[in-house]
Chains A and B, each alone.
Chain A
Amino acid sequence: MYMEINKEEIFRTHRAQKFALWLSMIGMFMLFASLSSAFIVYTASGVDKGIKTILPSAFIYSTIVIVLSSVTIHFANKAVKKEEFAKQKTFLLATIVLGVLFFVLQLHAWSVLIDRGIYFINTNASQSFVYIFTGMHLAHIIGGLLVLIRCLIGVSRKIPYIRNLYRMELAVIFWHFLDIIWIYLYVFLLLYQ
């Protein structure tokens, strides 16, 4: 049997998948929201609780890096819309490099904290929460990097334009989301430092 499929139906599927991505971001947001509320409740439970240190400056650099990566992926997306694939590749690569740099900077921030004697295993769990926040975010960053690499492989293998465009569209939304989540977490932690 040969089934014919409407073009309209394909576009509808694409729209639905994009919507599913937005929904899953609501789910991820709930994860961080619940962690934040757990942090607030825990920190309020005693005067000896709280972060009790100035956040490492590595967090500022990592914030700059991830914002930059959002800019580069924006340009990559612009390039793919103009069908400038070489440019798209360069910007995608830049985004991936910045993403990895972000990852490294976060790990560096952890080592700074450890040098200060602020360990993950800690009787003041507010300080453990800093690791949980950043760690859970990094777990999502790994997912984001995989998505970006898939885009890069796609454009290198010259997949059909419409699929390239679509992949990029999803990747851009997700990467911006990760950026925004990090800014939220950073501001949240700054307020509690």
Chain B
Amino acid sequence: MSSTAITPEASFQDSHEEKQSFIKKYVFSTDHKMIAKQFLITAIIMAFFALLLSILFRIQLAWPDKDFPVLEFFLGKWAEGGRIKPDFYLALVTIHGTIMVFFVLTAGLSGTFSNLLIPLQIGARDMAAPFVNMLSYWFFLGSCVVMTASFFVESGPAAAGWTVYPPLSAVPTAISGSGLGTTMWLLSIFMFIISQILGGVNYISTILNMRTKGMDLWKMPLTIWSLFITAIVGLVSFPVLVSAVVLLFFDRSAGTSFYLSDLVIGGEILPNEGGSPILYEHLFWFLGHPEVYIAILPAFGIVSEVLSINSRKPIFGYHAMVYSLMAIAVLSVIVWGHHMFVTGMNPFLGGVFMLTTLIIAIPSAVKAFNYTATLWRGNIRFTPAMLFAIGMVSFFISGGLTGLFTGNATIDIQIHDTYFIVAHFHFVMGSASMFGMLAAVYHWYPKLYGRMLDNQLGYIHFWLTFIGAYLVFFPMHFMGIDGVPRRYYAFTEFPFMEKWVSVNILITWAAVIAGLAQIAFVWNFFYSMRNGKKASKNPWRATTLEWTTEVKHIHGNWEGEIPTVYRWPYDYSKPGHPDDFIPQTVPHSETMSSNLLQDFHDNEEAIKIQKEWNKENNRVESES
């Protein structure tokens, strides 16, 4: 094929890349692989920050009557006498939730792996708009910085919960966290949304327009499908949060009354009249619910890929996997009312939302069964990535089952805002997405850094985290059924909750141990960057395109022409083929001994050739 030398209008500005400055290469990089690393490392730092916050409030919950002078040393006035203040406790849970949901499980998961995998797995040189892609990261970093900085303002960070419901969040004088802290929260989330939109349009457009030759939609790996659908869901729902946030901002800072009405603070009647906080809840949850799917969908795709590769088997029900992803995505935008069953919603409307919510069980069950069927009789390799992928399936099932209870309006009225909800979402979207993300990090680390992670540390990390997470969140179900409300500062004030203090001590110890286990991961992650075993080109013996690139990163990904794709990405252990995997780049003409007639999709010519070959070589034709 004739190629022309690079023209000035080319968007790949830096094709001569030997002499790239440090700033251009590591800071203001437009290379999707570098941006992926930036997203990942930022997300890891933010995840540790959020983990630290959670340990702090766990300490408070386990030992509400004890003083820890060391806390005062670090937190100053927020922990006078070594005891965390109620205001600060609320800030801790708020920022923990915000960071984990938005920064880690949204930007960290789909930001990192969309950037890394989309161009590599579909066979593109880079994203559609590399510069916009870079902007996406910088807006994300900006929002992280603003959120973190809110810990250093005098009135403290936002403290109205990660959903920042008005009126608590809308009246600056309500609690100390509703002051400057909440303004910064809003600014941070505004920047975050811009980052997500800029990233999302890029991901969708790249997938639809930049696929290499032969890569039709049904030859895409499930990771790409899931990242694609995630980006669409994000594009449709994130702008709605902009409206919610902008209106809230004006209510707080200008004095409008979109959400506020009939408020008296400290004996003083507020001028705001006629607004409705329920309006905010609708706007927020129109994003908020799709948002939890934005966190879990990429994990679905990643786990499909990792399970298939490490079971050495094709993914079970490839098409069903794609259709269930689509079904979940569509349903995700019509279920937001199930967060609002107790807002005085019309029972009929509640019934509709309940129905749509419970229908999600169907595509979710399809996925769970397909994962199990993929493992069934597989030639399983228990790599750390594989363990995390199986862990994800485990958490998704345990958390998904409780979804049937929380989604049911009548039961939800009992368990609303209790620890049952906390347990539910920490399993199904928290732990499950987190495990999906960790599976991806272990699996694609060789692609990111050209070296392998240490397996032993990986196993320690997995088992401590897995058992720890179950010990932390499982007991919370029982607390919730008993009616223990979430976000309460201390359980010692209410006689019926006192019996749960001992359980809280168990949970806190489990959280501390699971938290410490993360050190194994971080050590592994940063130590292996320089000292890990050198990775080969295709360490997992996988079929997808990213493993056809060189270990060393180059701008443009493939040195020569981009490879052409001939087959779907799950040809593992195909009978008749000497190897237990056939890369997507191998044409069917080279694998005559393993081709099935269905591989040719009714291509008469190809079927005829195959049949003739079969006859000549005495190959028994497969029935299917």
Interface residues of A (CB under 8 A from B): 1-7, 9-10, 12-17, 19-21, 23-24, 26-28, 30-31, 34-35, 38, 41-42, 45-46, 48-49, 120-125, 128, 132, 136, 160, 162-163, 166
Would you call A31 and B242 a contact (CB within 8 A)? yes
Specify which chain B residues have a CB less than 8 angstroms from the CB of A31 in the assembled complex.
239-240, 242-243
Q: Is the CB of A5 within 8 A of B274?
A: no
B140 within 8 A of A: no
**Of A24, A125, A163, the contact of B274 (CB 8 Å cutoff):** A125
Q: Decide if A121 touches B255 in the complex (CB within 8 Å).
A: yes
**Closest residue to B204 on the A side, CB-wise?**
A23
A13-B128 CB under 8 A given contacts A24-B197, A26-B235, A30-B239: yes
Complex CA gap A4/B6 in Å reads 6
Rounded to whole angstroms, the CA-CA distance of A31 and B125 in the bound complex is: 32
**Interchain nearest-CB distance for B52 vs A (Å):** 34
Task: Return 11 A-B CB contacts under 8 Å, by A number.
Answer: A5-B125, A19-B205, A23-B200, A23-B204, A26-B235, A27-B197, A38-B279, A123-B271, A125-B275, A160-B9, A163-B8
Mark contacts of B258-273 with chain A using CB atoms, 8 A cut-off: 1 yes-contact digit, 0 otherwise. 1000000000000111
Q: Which residues of B contact A123 (CB under 8 A)?
A: 257, 271-274
The verdict on B276 contacting chain A, using a C-beta distance below 8 Å, is yes
Expressed in whole angstroms, the Cα–Cα distance for A132 and B259 within the complex equals 14
Q: Which B1-54 residues sit within 8 Å CB-CB of chain A? A: 1, 3-12, 15-18
**Which residues of A sit under 8 angstroms from B258, Cβ to Cβ?**
38, 42, 125, 128
| Contact call A1/B554, Cβ cutoff below 8 A | yes
B380 at the A interface (CB under 8 A): no
Q: With A4-B3, A10-B11 in contact, is A16–B250 under 8 Å at CB?
A: no
Given contacts A16-B205, A19-B128, A20-B128, contact A26 B9 (CB under 8 A): no
Interface presence of B254 (CB below 8 A) = yes
Q: In the complex, what residues of A have CB within 8 A of residue B276's CB? A: 42, 45
**Assuming the A-B contacts A16-B210, A121-B256, are A7 and B4 also in contact, with contact meaning beta carbons closer than 8 angstroms in the complex?**
yes
| In the complex, chain A residues whose CB is within 8 Å of the CB of B275 | 42, 125
CB distance from B242 to the nearest CB of A (A): 5
* Cβ of A50 to closest chain B Cβ, rounded Å: 11
Within the complex, which residue of B7, B201, B202, B239 is in contact with A10, where a contact is CB–CB below 8 Å? Answer: B7
Using Cβ atoms and an 8 Å threshold, which residues of chain A touch B320?
none
Tell me whether B556 is interfacial, beta carbon within 8 Å: yes
Q: Is the CB of B257 within 8 A of A128?
A: yes
Complex interface: chain B residues within 8 A of A28 (CB): 239
Known: A42-B275, A125-B258. 4 other contacts (CB 8 A): A13-B11, A23-B235, A120-B254, A125-B257
Question: 1/0 per position for B546-585, CB-CB distance to A under 8 A?
Answer: 0000000011100100000000000000000000000000
Q: Which residues of B contact A15 (CB under 8 A)?
A: 209
* Listed residue (B197, B201, B202, B283) with the most chain A CB atoms within 10 angstroms of its CB: B201
CA distance A15 to B243 in the complex (A): 30
Is B110 interfacial (CB 8 A cutoff)?
A: no
Out of A4, A5, A132, name the residue touching B250 (CB < 8 Å). A132
Shortest beta-carbon distance from A45 to chain B in Å: 6
* B3 and A6 within 8 A (CB): yes
Closest chain-A Cβ to B4's Cβ sits at a distance in Å of: 5
State the interface size on chain B (CB cutoff 8 A). Answer: 61
Interface centre among A1, A27, A46, A162 (most CB of B within 10 A): A27
In the complex the two chains form, what is the Cα distance from A110 to B622 in whole Å?
75
Closest chain-A Cβ to B60's Cβ sits at a distance in Å of 37
Bound-complex Cα distance A120 to B8 (A): 50
Partner of B1, one of A6, A20, A34, A166: A6
Residues of chain B in range 200-217 having any CB-CB distance to chain A below 8 Å: 200-202, 204-206, 208-210
Task: Assess A16 versus B206: contact at CB under 8 Å? Given A10-B11, A27-B238, A123-B273.
Answer: yes
CA distance A27 to B206 in the complex (A): 17
Q: Given A42-B276, A123-B273, are A30 and B240 neighbors across the interface (CB < 8 Å)?
A: yes
Given contacts A2-B15, A42-B258, contact A24 B243 (CB under 8 A): no
Which are the 10 A-B pairs with shortest beta-carbon distances?
A16-B128, A16-B209, A123-B273, A20-B205, A31-B239, A23-B201, A30-B239, A34-B240, A4-B3, A20-B201
CA distance A42 to B274 in the complex (A): 9
B102 to chain A, nearest CB (A): 17
Please name the residue on chain A nearest to B271 by beta carbon. Answer: A123
Contacts of A166 on B, CB cut-off 8 Å?
Answer: 9
A30 → chain B closest CB, angstroms? 4
CA distance A13 to B30 in the complex (A): 14
Docked complex Cα distance between A19 and B231 (Å): 14
Q: Decide yes or no whether B413 CB sits under 8 A from chain A.
A: no
Which residue in B210, B243, B244, B250 is a CB contact (below 8 Å) of A12?
Answer: B210
Asked if residues B3 and A24 are in contact (CB atoms below 8 Å), the reply is: no
Bound complex: CA of A9 vs CA of B286, how far in Å? 38
Residue B404, interface by CB 8 Å: no
Nearest-neighbour CB distance to chain B for A135, whole angstroms, equals 9
Q: Judge whether A20 and B204 touch: CB under 8 Å.
A: yes
Query: Which residue of chain A has its CB nearest to the CB of B6?
Result: A5
Least CB distance from B293 to A in Å reads 16
Q: How many angstroms between the C-alpha atoms of A46 and B279 in the bound complex?
A: 14
Pairwise interchain contact A17-B554, C-beta atoms closer than 8 A: no
Assess the A5–B201 pair: CB atoms within 8 A: no
Q: Which residues of A sit under 8 angstroms from B3, Cβ to Cβ?
A: 4-6
Which of B205, B208, B238 is the one whose CB lies under 8 Å from A17? Answer: B205
- Mask, B416-456, CB within 8 Å of A = 1, is 00000000000000000000000000000000000000000
